[in-house]
Structure 1
Amino acid sequence: MHDQIREYEAFCERHSDWAVTMVERLVTRESPTTDKAAVDRCGAALAGYLNDIEADVTLLPQDSAGDHLFAELGDGPNQVLLLGHFDTVWPVGQLKRMPLQQKGHRLFGPGTFDMKGGIAIGMLAARAVLEVGMTPAARVAMLWTSDEETGSATS
């Protein structure tokens, strides 16, 4: 078991730049909950990353909020669900007032912690499980929503 954990850890370390780049790209696509067009642009970038890791991506269109994304990887008999959101409380233009910065091994900026960083970590973990070569007993499903900051009414 410890060897398997070390393999996952090594994979994540080798691909940490991928995750950091994803966070940077998602953060620079500002996505305030109340701006559907902005949230959808961020969602399109996220869908691109999901496609890059060969996830089966389903767009869940919304009228009054940004579109949600559902993605699946693998085909095991069970399912593990990762749930998160890519909308933020920050208005478009916040990056001018509070620019994205890297200090050492940390990123700072609107949406890095809540929760675009969490999305990148979840996707990196899913990649590790599937790419290290160990067959998971479960599909990895991801539901990334666009309206958490206003109460998740459409998700």
Structure 2
Amino acid sequence: MVLFAAGALLLGAGTTSRIFALTPENREAQATGPLTAYLEGQGENGAIWLKLRNGEVLKGRFEVKVGGSFGAYGKSRGIDRPGAAYEGSGRAIQGGSPAFVDMKGPSGATVHCEVVNDDANAHGSGVCLFSNGAEYWVLY
């Protein structure tokens, strides 16, 4: 199981944890199946890790860029468009901030994620690209 927590993004001064659900979006991701990632952080940044089904653990950092812009990957997947990102409740996120996640494993495997973080309650969604071409939708 993989854990991807970014809810700690904007929750205040204390350390917070959040679990992110990753849903396969293409054939490469479907071969691995659904994953989860775990994040711990304080304020607008923190640590994140994910355990792949083969046992490899990818570790990295997340960062919220309040007032920032999305990167090329997020834009190519359309998460920068109004109404494209939503919370687990199904409510569209209006005026959220971009957040970025980058992880790397001992084998050299990498993951890059771009998500829309609802600044008011630290929920959101976005996309992740793995170095093997697997693409996942993220919801937290």
- TM-score when normalising by structure 2: 0.30
Bigger strand share = 2
- Tell me which of the two structures has the higher relative contact order, counting C-alpha pairs closer than 8 angstroms and 6 or more residues apart: 1
Larger radius of gyration: 1
The structure with the greater share of residues assigned to helix is: 1
